[in-house]
């Protein structure tokens, strides 16, 4: 506690924001794995499982758009704490007896969780812009990469946690345990988070919801296709394929996806060093294009490998590792660029608009993941993924490029 007290107010707030984000991410990753594995075990088809996440993604689109406006008007502390509280409520909704755990009820709980997740994420990402002095772009990139990477590493732990809790406590017991822990963290956050964090000096009008910046609009469009490319095979198709084709049990599926996402998060944290920060450089639009172009062929190569005589498990695991590493750098670059492009006063408006596109990409990817996999198989999902990454790369050509090397 003494060491914490000696830290600057900005660092203390950053640690609080990051801790909130970490706790939320653990429950979010665990809940997603719980729902996929539990309902697959009940005999639901891939398309039906994808439908369970439909409201989660739809409400994520709406929440990011409106949440940025709310954050600018009310303060990011309120939107972050609201997200934590709604996640507790969503988890408690899933503790009802099994006979009441109908598809509409689960979809409603997922809708609440989607609202909670994107309020929390928008608040956390926007807060960093306000905690780093404007001229320190290298520091900003480092902090964004650390927050994003650690979040995804913990999401991987959440995947594993979901599989373990499902095996040990059952579905209702697992979500009740998570709700109890998250409720305690929510109470601490209400007491400790700075009261006026992120509140805009000028109250934004409702018409300010849509971004007027060409750079943010282009980056948002690229983000839509980038995350659609991931989720079109990762959300439903991959866990079901691993279980159905390779005979993996809950522990194996949850554990493998956990390790993958943890590694993905670690690479995200290291992205500043991989993209030139050691040479005093921070990324621009050219870097976003180059890294997206490098990712484009990976899903197609995995699809070709699965159609060949090569061992399917080796092709899929090896391809996943390469895809994860390259995707992690792309995601970290994007996360830095949106915070860098966003205006400081009312930062959550720009960040919220951007993550609205991110949520729309996840929604499209999730729906396609269930439908394309059920109709045509995993290889078709991978071909769609490559096409989406190619579109993201082409859009990134129009992003701004540095005329000089910024100071870090």
Neighbours of 4 (CB within 10 A): 9
Q: Give the Cα separation of 135 and 348 in Å (integer).
A: 19
Q: How many residues does the chain have?
A: 408
Whole-number pLDDT of residue 298: 95
Task: Tell me the per-residue pLDDT of 163-207, one tens digit each, with 9 for 90 and over.
Answer: 788 888 888 888 899 899 889 888 887 777 665 555 555 555 555
Question: Whole-number mean pLDDT of the chain?
Answer: 78
Q: Give the Cα separation of 332 and 292 in Å (integer).
A: 12
Task: Tell me the per-residue pLDDT of 10-59, one tens digit each, with 9 for 90 and over.
Answer: 666 667 777 777 888 888 888 887 887 778 777 777 667 777 777 777 77
Q: Give the Cα separation of 223 and 333 in Å (integer).
A: 11
Whole-number pLDDT of residue 404: 41
**128 or 285, which is more confident?**
285
Least reliable range by pLDDT among 6-10, 49-53, 148-152? 6-10
**Cα-based distances in Å from 137 to 166, 289, 398, 406, 408:** 43, 20, 21, 7, 5
What's the gap between Cα 256 and its chain centre? 18
Structural domains in the chain, sorted by start: 2-198+207-396 (1.20.1250.20)
Evaluated on CA atoms 403, 275, 24, 110, the torsion sign reads: positive
Task: Tell me the per-residue pLDDT of 82-113, one tens digit each, with 9 for 90 and over.
Answer: 888 888 999 999 888 877 878 788 888 888 88
Per the listing, tokens 């601490």 go with 188
Q: What are phi and psi of 236, to 5 degrees?
A: -115, -50
Q: Give the Cα separation of 38 and 378 in Å (integer).
A: 21
Evaluated on CA atoms 327, 232, 25, 124, the torsion sign reads: positive
Mean pLDDT for the stretch of residues 114-122: 79
Triad 343, 345, 349: Cα angle to 5°: 70
**Cα-based distances in Å from 391 to 222, 224, 298, 396:** 7, 10, 14, 9
Mean pLDDT for the stretch of residues 149-153: 71
What's the gap between Cα 28 and its chain centre? 10
- Could you give the percent of the chain with pLDDT greater than 70? 76
Whole-number pLDDT of residue 11: 66
pLDDT beyond 50 at 407:
no
Q: Give the Cα separation of 348 and 14 in Å (integer).
A: 16
Task: Tell me the per-residue pLDDT of 284-336, one tens digit each, with 9 for 90 and over.
Answer: 788 889 999 999 999 999 999 998 888 988 999 899 889 989 998 998 888 87
Whole-structure pTM value: 0.71
In sequence order, the 6+-apart residues with CB closer than 8 A to the CB of 149 are: 265, 266, 267, 268, 269, 270, 271, 328, 332
In sequence order, the 6+-apart residues with CB closer than 8 A to the CB of 264 are: 152, 153, 156, 324, 325, 327, 328
Whole-number pLDDT of residue 382: 95
3-state SS of the chain?
Answer: CHHHHHCCHHHHHHHHHHHHHHHHHHHHHHHHHHHHHHHHHCCCCHHHHHHHCHHHHHHHHHHHHHHHHHHHHHCHHHHHHHHHHHHHHHHHHCCCCHHHCCHHHHHHHHHHHHHHHHHHHHHHHHHHHHHCCCCCHHHHHHHHHHHHHHHHHHHHHHHHHHHHHHHHHHHHHHHHHHHHHHHHHHHHHHHHCCCCCCCCCCCCCHHHHCCCCHHHHHHHHHHHHHHHHHHHHHCCHHHHHHHHHHCCCHHHHHHHHHHHHHHHHHHHHHHHHHCCHHHCCCCCHHHHHHHHHHHHHHHHHHHHHHCCCCCHHHHHHHHHHHHHHHHHHHHHHHHHHHHHHCCCCCHHHHHHHHHHHHHHHHHHHHHHHHHHHHHHCHHHHHHHHHHHHHHHHHHHCCCCCCCCCCCC
Q: What are phi and psi of 284, to 5 degrees?
A: -135, -165
Burial of 93 from C-beta contacts in 10 A (0-12 / 13-18 / 19+): buried
């Amino acid at each position: 506690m003494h060491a914490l007290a000696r830290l600057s107010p900005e660092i203390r707030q950053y640690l609080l924001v990051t801790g909130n984000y970490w706790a939320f991410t653990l429950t979010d990753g665990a809940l997603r794995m719980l729902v996929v594995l539990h309902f697959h075990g009940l005999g639901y088809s891939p398309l039906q499982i994808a439908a369970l996440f439909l409201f989660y993604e739809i409400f994520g689109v709406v929440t990011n758009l409106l949440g940025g406006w709310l954050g600018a008007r009310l303060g990011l502390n309120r939107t972050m704490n609201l997200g934590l509280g709604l996640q507790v409520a969503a988890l408690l909704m899933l503790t009802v007896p099994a006979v009441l755990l109908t598809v509409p009820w689960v979809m409603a709980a997922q809708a609440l969780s989607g609202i909670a997740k994107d309020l929390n994420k928008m608040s956390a990402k926007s807060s960093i812009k306000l905690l780093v002095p404007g001229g320190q772009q290298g520091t900003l990139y480092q902090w964004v990469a650390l927050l994003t990477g650690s979040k995804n590493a913990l999401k991987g732990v959440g995947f594993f946690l979901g599989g373990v809790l499902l095996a040990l406590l059952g579905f209702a017991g697992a979500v009740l345990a998570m709700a109890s822990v998250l409720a305690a963290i929510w109470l601490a956050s209400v007491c400790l988070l700075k009261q006026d964090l992120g509140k805009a000096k000028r109250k934004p009008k409702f018409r300010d919801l849509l971004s007027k910046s060409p750079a943010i609009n282009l980056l948002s469009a690229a983000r839509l296709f980038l995350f659609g490319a991931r989720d079109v095979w990762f959300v439903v198709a991959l866990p079901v394929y691993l279980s159905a084709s390779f005979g993996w049990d809950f522990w194996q599926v949850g554990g493998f996806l956990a390790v993958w996402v943890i590694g993905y998060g670690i690479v995200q944290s290291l992205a500043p060093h991989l993209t030139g920060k050691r040479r005093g450089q921070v990324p621009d639009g050219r870097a976003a294009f180059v890294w997206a172009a490098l990712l484009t062929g990976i899903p197609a190569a995995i699809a070709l490998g699965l159609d060949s005589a090569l061992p399917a498990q080796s092709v899929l695991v090896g391809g996943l590792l390469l895809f994860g590493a390259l995707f992690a750098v792309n995601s970290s670059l994007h996360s830095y660029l949106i915070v860098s492009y966003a205006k400081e006063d009312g930062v959550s408006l720009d960040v919220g608009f951007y993550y609205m596109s991110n949520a729309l990409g996840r929604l499209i990817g999730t729906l396609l993941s269930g439908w394309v996999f059920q109709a045509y198989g995993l290889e078709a999902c991978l071909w769609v993924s490559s096409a989406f990454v190619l579109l993201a790369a082409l859009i990134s050509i129009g992003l701004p490029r540095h005329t000089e090397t910024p100071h870090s």
